[in-house]
Chains A and B, each alone.
Chain A
Amino acid sequence: KAGVTQTPRYLIKTRGQQVTLSCSPISGHRSVSWYQQTPGQGLQFLFEYFSETQRNKGNFPGRFSGRQFSNSRSEMNVSTLELGDSALYLCASSLTGREETQYFGPGTRLLVL
């Protein structure tokens, strides 16, 4: 099976712009989670989707949003970008989102200037 894929792999934006990141899960996986990874902070949970429904979200401002499509592909959007949003954004997929292995994508590295 193909692994989790994310597009684009790299992005450079300026403050105030918005960005949309995409994640395609492993075939058959219906849960997609998003994480922000920054040096020293580890992986911080953004949100989780299953069957097009957000089941949980982390402590991020409302500028961070996401959605999931009927084919389980997911997108996350960040509006009004700030310098502090520069990070590696990882998505992870699993079959159900319950206590099971999460398979990570390669990430999208976002740089906000």
Chain B
Amino acid sequence: GENVEQHPSTLSVQEGDSAVIKCTYSDSASNYFPWYKQELGKRPQLIIDIRSNVGEKKDQRIAVTLNKTAKHFSLHITETQPEDSAVYFCAATTSGTYKYIFGTGTRLKVLA
């Protein structure tokens, strides 16, 4: 069945450093890849997404890259701040399935 693997499960970085989270998907037909941020006790919220016809997308300090050949995509956060501390989830979906497969999450800690 479809699967999304996410690494690492936990990540600690110093404030101002960069953080990278990687996900690998199994369904080669997947065409939409969102990233969600979930702060403690809060609901997941979309922070960035990418479609399969695009290789990279940036939004201020956040960027996502997609490698369709290798079937993996990554979240890059630059100049990390304490408020970036949260759990980040990647997901993948395939057109026509109406089903999102989520990774198991990465707990990011930004140390001041």
Interface residue ranges, A against B (CB under 8 Å): 4, 31, 33, 35, 40-45, 48, 50, 55-56, 58-59, 90, 97-102, 104-107
Contact = CB atoms under 8 A, between A and B. Distances in A.
A98 B95 contact: yes
Contact of A90 (B44, B51, B91, B93): B44
Contacts of A104: 36, 43-45
Interface string B47-86: 0010100000000000000000000000000000000000
Contact of B49 (A44, A55, A101): A101
Contacts of A100: 32
A104 B6 CA distance: 21
Interface of B: 1, 6, 31-32, 34, 36, 42-46, 49, 51, 89, 91, 93, 95, 97-105
Contact of A101 (B34, B95, B103): B34
Contacts of B98: 31, 33, 48, 50, 55-56, 97-98
A112 to B, nearest CB: 21
B73 to A, nearest CB: 14
B100 A45 contact: yes
B43 A42 contact: no
B112 to A, nearest CB: 26
A90 B36 CA distance: 14
Contacts of A98: 95, 98
A42 B44 contact: no
Contact of B44 (A43, A50, A99): A43
B24 to A, nearest CB: 14
